[in-house]
Structure 1
Amino acid sequence: MENIKKILQNFKIQESDYSIYGENIAKINITKNDLSKKGKLILMTSINPTPAGEGKTTTAIGLSDGLNLIGKKAILALREPSMGPVFGRKGTATGGGESEVLPVDDINLHFTGDIHAITAANNLISATIDSEIYWKSNLNIDHNKVVWKRCIDLNDRALRDIEIKISKTISRKEHFTITAASNIMTILSLSIDENDLRWRLENALVAYSKDGKEIFVKDLKIVGALMIILKDAIKPNIVKTKYNTPSLIHCGPFANIATGTNSIISTKLGLSLGDYCVVESGFGSDLGFEKFMNVINYHNDLIPDCVVLVVTIRALNLHNDFENNFKHLEQHLKHVSLYNLNLVVAINFISGDDNEQLKKLKHWLEENNYNYEMNEAYTNGAEGAKKLAIKVDEIANKKFSFKRLINDNDSIEEKIKKVVNNFYYLTNFTFSDKATEKLEDIKKTAYKNYPVCMVKSFASIDGNDAKLENYNLEIKDLEVNTGAKFIVVYTNQVMSMPGLNKEPNSKDMDLINNIVVGLK
């Protein structure tokens, strides 16, 4: 493996523009690098995943390695793993086999401390709110109307709903989220530079006063302290794959609650440095891809030059696609066609896949004129993704006429309707009384033109995980995330604080002779 310094030199990044964290990790100073777009953006998505996942990360890593193998200058951009899932059930988020980003242990554990900084910044806001209440400051905060939540980067179900004692006479209900689902994580991931981060922090809504006035972080007078805590966390981290492809790993917002993609800063940095920047969006195209197109691109020009949709035989079997003529797969493919984007289907090969089913899938794709290629990077590394890289390089250079689904002048209801109709394939939906009241309140504010960020289960395309007859999608609640600049729309009940399973991965981990073992 090449030293990270050599890789940075290959991309003409000067030593004064980065900081080294050991031999294989560095942070890049964004203020000293030109973030104007030069390369092409490749966006990874998938069909609804099995519990084991569909290998989007493995495919993204393999594709990046494959592109470099065929002589292209490719950079990978991924989300940073949360320690909650690493110690829980889901495990690591750095690929596998011959398609990995390294060093696996560091990336999945403390890495460069970004998630710890995000946790500290988030909780400093909470501590300050409660201090203002304790000292009965002139902000006159209503302790029953605090909307900001504490966070921790672990799966701890006991912290979901608790009661905290602020003073002898004042107590309030508190709710913890996992750090990946926190407001600061979303704010940092959507910031385009330090000035934008400061603005988002200043204007993040945290509570209401006793006379109904909105209270923002700027009213707490701690924005400067927050900027100090986040001064290094805003800088993208760069590591490398097994095949020495530079890999930006920065921020990790959840996709079923927030945007589900790495930071805008790291994506723009990747596009400024390489011919290609390969970005992974979270879960299936009904979540990560939808939010990339309708939330992230609501305020930014990050239109994918090619979308790669990952499928596996095991997921197609889970959704009964071999019995219903690939209906589930076709629904996801239509999501991409809504925007007239270039598309390649990546068949992520898993040892033991049924050859007859593979033939049937390929025949259907050919019959319906979809571009596709096999990905065997897990077992064969860069060489196993070479054919996929050639196909993506070909398709990404084709002209396309991008069209938006959601427009600036669409009402909140129209924005929700377009997502529900075109992504969930549901004709009707209803608002609860609570959601209706919130909707009318938001319409009276300056936030009414924000994009909508849908909260939905990842397991099914319409959120009907229980497969109920006469299913009705109900909008249960709405709230404005003023720092992120979007309206959160709750459909399914999605947990923002996971719990540990009965036999979590943490029970199999150890440090032996200073080597981490048991990471899965």
Structure 2
Amino acid sequence: MPTDIEIARQATLIPITEVAKNAGVPDEALIPYGKYKAKVDTATLPTTSNGKLILVTAVNPTPAGEGKTTTSVGLSDALHRIGKKTMLCLREPSLGPCFGVKGGGAGGGKSQVMPMDEINLHFTGDFHAITSAHNLLSAMIDNHIYWGNSLDIDLRRVTWRRVLDMNDRALRQIVGPLGGVSNGFPRETGFDITVASEIMAILCLASDLDDLQKRLGDIIIGYRRDRTPVFCRDVKADPAMTVLLKDAILPNLVQTLENRPAFLHGGPFANIAHGCNSVIATKTALRMADYVVTEAGFGADLGAEKFMDIKCRLAGLKPDAIVLVATVRALKMNGGVAKADLTKGENVDAVRAGSVNLKRHIENVKKFGITPTIAINHFYLDTDAEIAVIQEMAKEFGADAVICKHWAEGGAGAEELAQIVATKADAGAPDFDQLYPSSMPLADKITTVATEIYRAENVAIPTAVRKQLKQWEEMGYGEFPVCMAKTQYSFSTDPTQLGAPTGHEIAIREVRLSAGAGFVVAIAGDIMTMPGLPKVPSAEGIYLDENGQIEGLF
């Protein structure tokens, strides 16, 4: 089988103007960025929303991921193949994983979005705009302090850092500005990766430019000595930041390998933020198509929970059907097989043992009032016996399980999944509900997610954290949902506790207020907001060949 980029290079693409026409985007709404990608001015599109929303999530993943994006693309193409007008909504890839270990975020095999190389690299410049807007605010904070600090910002309590869309562990914690009086006042600070920026989360939750600027202004950048908050609007940065983001807020239109329309827009971290594509793209797609396929980052314990408790709550959305991606290799790993041994032959017993992870996710999704459909993302090393175990266990747990071969066959390999999911989406989800009400106290929301989704026996919230949460409630933030930040590899905070651990403790070490985005982040365990590169990063295998073509992207 050719590599992803070789498959992409062999594809026959159609002009983005034709993709837009087929999707119902009028000429006046299309802003081309070259021949095969464009921005869409949503103001000129229909206002009535009739589409059915389909969420794709997954079991706890291996480090390489289990193919949520690939499955989302394959399902979208398959829905088109069975005669359903469908729109795909995905996040944009970050450069960090592209050059790190996981690779790009454009799907794989014959279920990709195109142009794959441009999408995985600079695309339409959205991430650069977010990086610039974020760092403009950083510069204006330090500039305000340099010119007298009339807001009385406590240098020890500046919470706003800087960002870069690249994995670079050396920047996690730094001291600056150094170099004497002319450079400002030294203080401890650091960098996060761009996808962890609150501005990324804001862009993906904003309804329009006015809402975007309001949310930017609501960002808390630090505190005074009396512990009162200082907002972005206090340093007068929000109007200029909005200018930098005026194009980035518009959804990006591209196509799948089968020339079907797809919105790729935004890419918030699925740990420190909510891990979903933009509300603007999703709502626009629901006005344009009968079915909208979207995904949420990491496993269902993080991605699906946040999709429903944060994105759906804040945007007034609800899913009509949910697909839960499972793979033989992920269940093997959750059944005790070491990562290095996942490709070493058939292991039915490990798949069966690891199916406790699948069961836990099915049970959790059902708590929102929806029974998921299991998409078994097929890999060429999978055996019939291993696949049969997943189907058997899924049936035992009360869910349909479908073998999907979209990676090798494109949309044709996911038609059975499409038929089942379309039928479920048509029926809707009349019993859908969030896990907790907005009126619940913040500490209780954290406890609810930790006990109901992670199945923790004990939730340790230190007195200082409870005091902070209470203070935020008194400031008017008590209605906010909570955004849990923990490892994606386990239901616990220990990435080595695979399967479906019980009896563990979820210890909340700190909380952060994302006042502009509209949620409270609760951090449990060791979560990095600036990843590092692995010992052998993917960047070592990415190069231009003698014809000037990119090789090594995947």
- Give the match for residue 42 of structure 1: 54
- CA gap of 1:35–1:45, structure 2 versus 1, over 3 A, is farther
Whole-Å Cα distance in 2 between the matches of residues 241 and 205 of structure 1? 39
Question: Superposition pairs for residues 63-462 of structure 1, below 5 Å?
Answer: 63-165=75-177, 168=181, 170-320=185-335, 322-324=351-353, 326-399=355-428, 400-462=430-492
Q: Deviations over 1:48-103 (max 9, x none)?
A: 00111111111000000000011111111111000111111111111111111111
User: Structure 1 counterpart of 2:534, which letter?
Assistant: N
Q: Which moved more, 1:441-450 or 1:257-266?
A: 441-450
| CA–CA distance in structure 2, aligned partners of residues 358 and 116 of structure 1 | 42
Give the corresponding residue for 2:518: 485
Gaps of 5+ in 1: none
For residues 319 and 35 of structure 1, do their structure 2 counterparts lie closer, same or farther at Cα, with a shift above 3 Å needed?
farther
One-letter code aligned to 2:366: S
- CA offset digits 1:280-338 (Å, max 9, x no partner): 10000000101011111222221100000000011111111644483211110011111
The equivalent residue for 2:37 is 25
Maintained 8 Å contact 1:342/1:396: no
- 2:492–2:504 Cα contact (<8 Å) kept: no
Separation in 2, partners of 1:325, 1:515: 41
Cα distance, 1:342–1:302 mapped onto 2, change above 3 Å:
farther
1:360 shift after superposition? 2.0
TM-score, length basis structure 2: 0.91
Q: Deviations over 1:152-174 (max 9, x none)?
A: 01111111000002652721011
Summarize deviations over 1:119-154 as a string: whole Å, max 9, x none.
000000000000001111321221111111100011
Partner of 1:475 in structure 2?
508
Query: Is the Cα contact below 8 Å between 1:62 and 1:384 reproduced in 2?
Result: yes
**C-alpha distance 201-314 of structure 1, shift in aligned 2 (>3 A):** same
Cross-structure match for 2:539: 506
How many residues align? The count is 520
Once the two structures are overlaid, the 10-residue window that deviates more, 129-138 or 230-239, is 129-138
Query: Which whole-Å CA distance do the structure 1 matches of 2:490 and 2:106 have between them?
Result: 25
Q: For the Cα contact (< 8 Å) 2:219–2:516, is it kept in 1?
A: yes
**Whole-Å separation in 1 of the counterparts to 2:325 and 2:59:** 7
CA contact (8 A) 1:434 1:476 kept: no
Matched residue of 1:476: which SS? strand
Tell me the distance in 2 between the aligned counterparts of 1:14 and 1:132.
Answer: 45
Whether the 8 Å contact between 1:475 and 1:490 is mirrored in structure 2 is yes
**By how many angstroms is 1:342 displaced?**
4.5
**Aligned counterpart in structure 2 of residue 497 of structure 1, from 499, 512, 530:** 530
Find the partner of 2:493 among 457, 463, 467: 463
C-alpha contact 1:305 1:342 (8 A) present in aligned 2: no
Superposition map of 1:1-16 within 5 A: 1-16=13-28
Return closer, same or farther for 1:472/1:339 CA change in 2, 3 Å cut-off: closer
Task: Please give the secondary structure, in 1, of the residue aligned with 2:301.
Answer: helix
**Aligned residue type for 1:490:** I
> Any conservation in 2 of the 1:101–1:247 contact (CA below 8 Å)?
yes
Rounded to whole Å, the distance in 1 between the matches of 2:44 and 2:371 is 33
Q: Which residue identity is paired with 2:128?
A: H
Contact 2:322 2:371 in 1 (8 A): yes
Alignment of 1:517 onto 2:529: no
The code of the aligned residue for 1:473 comes to I
**Identity percentage of aligned residues:** 40
SS in 1 for 2:73: helix
SS of corresponding position for 1:19 = strand
Change (3 A) 1:503 1:277: same
Partners in 1 of 2:238 and 2:88 — Cα distance? 32
Counterpart-to-counterpart distance in 2, 1:353 and 1:69: 26
- Partner AA of 1:357 in structure 2: E
Check 1:376–1:323 CA distance in 2 against 1; reply closer, same or farther (3 A cut): closer
Q: Report SS of the residue matched to 1:297.
A: helix
Amino acid of the residue matched to residue 67 of structure 1? L
* Distance in structure 2 (CA, Å) of the matches to 1:35 and 1:288: 28
Conserved 8 A contact 2:457-2:503: no
Quick one: which amino acid aligns to residue 505 of structure 1? Answer: S
Answer whether contact 1:473 1:491 (CA < 8 A) is retained: yes
- CA shift at 1:372, angstroms? 2.2
* Alpha-carbon offset, residue 30 of structure 1: 1.9
Letter of the structure 1 residue corresponding to residue 392 of structure 2: H
**Separation of aligned partners in 1, 2:505 and 2:29:** 53
> Gaps spanning 5+ residues in structure 2: where?
1-12, 336-349
TM-superposed deviation, 1:436:
3.1
**Equivalent position SS for 2:302:** helix
Contact between 1:73 and 1:274, CA under 8 Å: does it hold in 2?
yes
Contact 2:457 2:502 in 1 (8 A): no
Moved more, 364-373 or 112-121: 364-373
- Cα displacement (A) at 1:369: 3.4
Tell me how far apart the structure 2 counterparts of residues 184 and 310 of structure 1 sit (CA, whole Å): 29
- Kindly report the root-mean-square deviation, in angstroms, between the aligned alpha carbons of the 2 structures: 1.7
Q: For the residues of structure 1 that align with 2:39 and 2:71, how far apart are their CA atoms?
A: 25
Distance, in Å, in 2 between the alignment partners of 1:312 and 1:219 is 49
Deviates more, 1:211-220 or 1:180-189: 211-220
Q: Deviations over 1:185-230 (max 9, x none)?
A: 1111111111110110111111222343321111111222111100
Q: Distance in 2 between matches of 1:279 and 1:330?
A: 22
| Amino acid in structure 2 at the alignment position of 1:478 | V
Residue-by-residue CA offset, 1:343-398 (whole Å, 9 max, x unaligned)? 21111111010211211221232344312211100111111111111111112112
